[in-house]
Amino acid sequence: MTLYSRIAGTGSCLPPRRLSNADLVAELAAKGVETSDEWIVERTGIRARHFADAGVFSSDLGAEAARQALDAAGIAASDLDLIIVATSTPDMVFPSTACILQNKIGANGCAAFDVQAVCSGFVYALTVADAMIRTGAARNALVVGAEVFSRILDFSDRTTCVLFGDGAGAVVLQASATPGILASDLHADGRHVDILCVPGHVNGGAVMGDPLLRMDGQAVFKLAVGVLEDAARATLAKAGKTDADIDWLIPHQANIRIMQSTAKKLKLPADKLVVTVDQHGNTSAASIPLALDHLVRSGRTQAGQLAMLEGVGGGFTWGAVLLVL
Ligand code: ACO
């Protein structure tokens, strides 16, 4: 019998501190950094983001999202045999955020590790979990995207600090006799390491180099628009589907203009594009599972519909996953 993996439950978590553009503009003005609600909305579609308080880590946000996903799936943490956390803002250098989260939700004993592919992290992690389930290496997997990007932002750099937020999303992926994940397509091109990075590192107890997020926004924008269409088309082809079969497009929530351009290339009407970037900003690896959970909990989906998930980010990395809801 062919074995598939299927999403059995979703969850998400946003830290309570919400900053509208007006709130952030006022905070930045106090530091002498000039920006405006108009600029942020027009260039990115972002209207608000959530920031975690000091002492709250990716594992805390991820654990709350995980508890919701476990509840929705109707299984206990002790039923998990695999945890994968996608994050670029881990709690520590090591151990992995997945191990810390595992302890917080009481799933001790199962395999747990992190995946690092920046904003593509969730589609990478989902693809790895799917492969492990289909080979029989796991039956109940928890896949989490969790980030506290506010910790790596340079609040004197208006070209980046207005774009990002904190949050987490999670899914329980279960072995199934009927298809769930139909196909995926992952890529990376390390020639573009420098266009989006946090270049610092730890050496001898000190941070060496620059430990804050740096981005060539226009270079990222140009690459993102092209590769997202390619990844979606490759994934559809692998699954024997076409643009018209997509019920929901859930892209990485970085910039509304990139998202709308991808939807247009796939000939999808606006109501099939899932948008949370306006309320969450760019939450990196958390953005896709956050958007997925918001869609599922909105009651707008029906069992059997097809969702295309698409990630793109630092590395440069990109990829897509086509799945049955
Ligand atoms: N407020 C006001 N003005 C600003 C701000 C700001 N926050 N930021 C930049 N500007 C100014 C610039 O200084 C520039 O002024 P100038 O013309 O006088 O020099 C002007 O606005 C235009 O700047 P651009 O960088 O050309 O603006 P652009 O239209 O390219 O938008 C943006 C910038 C939003 C970053 C865009 O390039 C983008 O979205 N890039 C993609 C980001 C992305 O998708 N990242 C995904 C991956 S994220 C990850 O992997 C972690």
Whether 166 and 261 map to the same domain: the answer is: no
DSSP string, 196-263: EE---EEETTEEES--S-EE-HHHHHHHHHHHHHHHHHHHHHHHT--GGG-SEEEE--S-HHHHHHHH
pTM: 0.97
pLDDT tens column, 85-130: 999 999 999 999 999 999 999 999 999 999 999 999 999 999 999 9
Number of domains in the chain: 2
Whether 191 and 271 map to the same domain: the answer is: yes
Whether 201 and 283 map to the same domain: the answer is: yes
The minimum-distance atom of ligand 1 relative to the CA of 161 is: 7
Domain end marker among 148, 178, 208? 178
The minimum-distance atom of ligand 1 relative to the CA of 44 is: 34
Give the residue, out of 46, 159, 277, with the most ligand 1 atoms within 8 A of its beta carbon, to mutate for a pocket test: 159
Residue 10 and residue 308: Cα distance in Å, rounded? 16
Q: Report the separation in Å between the CA atom of 143 and the middle of ligand 1, taken as the mean of its atom positions.
A: 31
Residue 300 and residue 147: Cα distance in Å, rounded? 27
Domain end marker among 156, 178, 200? 178
Q: Report the separation in Å between the CA atom of 217 and the middle of ligand 1, taken as the mean of its atom positions.
A: 5
Whether residue 197 lies in the annotated active site: no
Q: Report the separation in Å between the CA atom of 283 and the middle of ligand 1, taken as the mean of its atom positions.
A: 17
Looking up residue 311, the CATH number of its domain turns out to be 3.40.47.10
The minimum-distance atom of ligand 1 relative to the CA of 312 is: 47
Q: Report the separation in Å between the CA atom of 220 and the middle of ligand 1, taken as the mean of its atom positions.
A: 10
Q: What residue ranges line ligand 1, CB within 6 angstroms?
A: 35, 39, 43-44, 118-119, 158-159, 162, 196, 217-218, 220-221, 224, 254-255, 258, 282, 284, 312-314
Domain end marker among 162, 178, 194? 178
Whether 224 and 273 map to the same domain: the answer is: yes
DSSP string, 34-92: ---HHHHHHHH---EEE-PPTT--HHHHHHHHHHHHHHHHT--GGG-SEEEEE-SS-SS
pLDDT of residue 189: 98
Provide the residue-wise pLDDT of the chain in tens; the chain has 325 residues: 789 999 999 999 999 999 999 999 999 999 999 999 999 999 999 999 999 999 999 999 999 999 999 999 999 999 999 999 999 999 999 999 999 999 999 999 999 999 999 999 999 999 999 999 999 999 999 999 999 999 999 999 999 999 999 999 999 999 999 999 999 999 999 999 999 999 999 999 999 999 999 999 999 999 999 999 999 999 999 999 999 999 999 999 999 999 999 999 999 999 999 999 999 999 999 999 999 999 999 999 999 999 999 999 999 999 999 999 9
Give percent of the chain with pLDDT exceeding 70: 100
Cα→Cα distances 24→192, 254, 287, Å? 30, 18, 20
Whether residue 119 lies in the annotated active site: yes
Give the domain range for residue 317. Answer: 182-324
Whether 65 and 103 map to the same domain: the answer is: yes
**Catalytic pick from 13, 110, 119, 197?**
119
Whether residue 13 lies in the annotated active site: no
pLDDT tens column, 37-90: 999 999 999 999 999 999 999 999 999 999 999 999 999 999 999 999 999 999
Handedness of CA 231, 134, 115, 170 (dihedral sign): positive
Whether 121 and 200 map to the same domain: the answer is: no
